[in-house]
């Protein structure tokens, strides 16, 4: 009788084993697939994954098959945002549970719209540096608001030039610059402050006093990437 009772357990264990072997992915990981509106795989999309804690955020890029593999994040609700660095499609955010085998994200076409110039936007030229002080040259950098919501989830992706610079037009507010450096997700704050708020100083400053009318030329800043606060 004991052997008969153990038989279903053994069969279940073997089934899980063969599923893991033939799927080619370890148990517990989540395969994220990004598709264009036609359903074709979309390569080089940036995935920002928030498992509920900013310090545990993950950033990945989809491969030529439009997929990226996430390790098990142990979160009740994981939030993933697919970002198109080419800006052909809208960013798409979806939720999934930790341990979900696969998630598909289909991007929507971004219509071509003539945008009226934002008079409140400030021109900022930012040099992004690695923790060792060297310029982060020729690398993608994600620019987002420091505090975002599901309704206002604004991201953009920029490629630094050979001197590590990106040219931005931002409204006054608090932002975060992020990039992958040697496999680590690093960030730097960037604050565009109204003139009446405070003054900033220092060669590498995260703050610029914004005044669109009196400062028509770009402000030149340098920020240094570091691990997110409270990260080990």
Q: Which residues pair with 94 in a beta bridge?
A: 80
Per-chain mean pLDDT for the chain: 76
Residue-wise pLDDT tens digits, 92-136: 999 988 788 999 999 988 765 444 566 678 888 899 999 999 999
Relative to beta strand 140-145, strand 30-35 is unpaired
79 and 148 in a common domain: no
172 pLDDT higher than 90: no
Q: Could you tell me the pLDDT band of residue 161, with boundaries at 50, 70 and 90?
A: very high
Residue 160 domain-assigned? yes
Number of domains within the chain? 2
Among 148, 46, 30, CA closest to 92: 46
Mean pLDDT for 44-57 is 81
Residue 14 domain-assigned? no
174 pLDDT higher than 90: no
Residue 193 domain-assigned? yes
100 and 32 in a common domain: yes
CATH number, position 50: 2.60.40.1120
Indicate the residue among 106, 131, 154 that finishes a domain.
Answer: 106
Residue 155 domain-assigned? yes
Residue by residue, DSSP assigns 98-131 as: TT-SEEEEE--B-----PPP-TT-EEEEEEEE-T
* Residues near 53 by beta carbon (within 8 Å), at least 6 away in sequence: none
Predicted local confidence at residue 84, as pLDDT: 87
97 and 136 in a common domain: no
Q: Could you tell me the pLDDT band of residue 152, with boundaries at 50, 70 and 90?
A: low
Higher pLDDT, 131 or 19: 131
Higher pLDDT, 72 or 106: 106
63 pLDDT higher than 90: yes
Among 209, 208, 198, 203, CA closest to 224: 203
Check: pTM over 0.75? Answer yes or no: no
Indicate the residue among 106, 141, 158 that finishes a domain.
Answer: 106
Residues 144, 46 contacting (CB under 8 angstroms):
no
Residues 40, 65 contacting (CB under 8 angstroms):
no
Residues 76, 159 contacting (CB under 8 angstroms):
no
127 and 102 in a common domain: no
Domain that holds residue 185: 122-224
Predicted local confidence at residue 17, as pLDDT: 41
Predicted local confidence at residue 16, as pLDDT: 42
């Amino acid at each position: 009788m004991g052997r008969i009772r153990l038989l279903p357990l053994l069969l279940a264990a073997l089934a899980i084993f063969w599923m893991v072997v033939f799927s080619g992915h370890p148990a517990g990981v989540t395969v994220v697939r990004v598709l264009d509106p036609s359903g074709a795989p979309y390569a080089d999309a940036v995935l920002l994954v928030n498992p509920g804690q900013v310090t545990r955020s993950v950033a990945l890029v989809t491969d030529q098959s439009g997929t990226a593999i996430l390790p098990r994040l142990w979160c009740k609700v994981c939030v993933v945002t697919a970002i198109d660095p080419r800006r052909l499609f809208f960013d798409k955010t979806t939720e999934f549970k930790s341990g979900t085998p696969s998630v598909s994200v289909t991007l929507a076409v971004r219509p071509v719209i003539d945008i009226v110039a934002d008079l409140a936007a400030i021109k900022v030229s930012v040099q992004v540096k690695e923790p060792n002080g060297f310029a982060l040259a020729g690398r993608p950098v994600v620019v987002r608001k420091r505090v975002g919501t599901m309704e206002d989830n604004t991201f953009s992706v920029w490629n630094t030039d050979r001197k590590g610079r990106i040219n931005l037009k931002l409204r006054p507010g608090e932002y975060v610059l992020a990039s992958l450096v040697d496999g680590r997700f690093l960030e730097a704050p960037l604050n565009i402050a109204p003139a009446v708020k405070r003054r900033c100083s220092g060669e590498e400053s995260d703050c610029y006093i914004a005044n669109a009318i009196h400062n028509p030329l770009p402000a030149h800043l340098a920020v240094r990437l570091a691990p997110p606060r409270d990260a080990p």
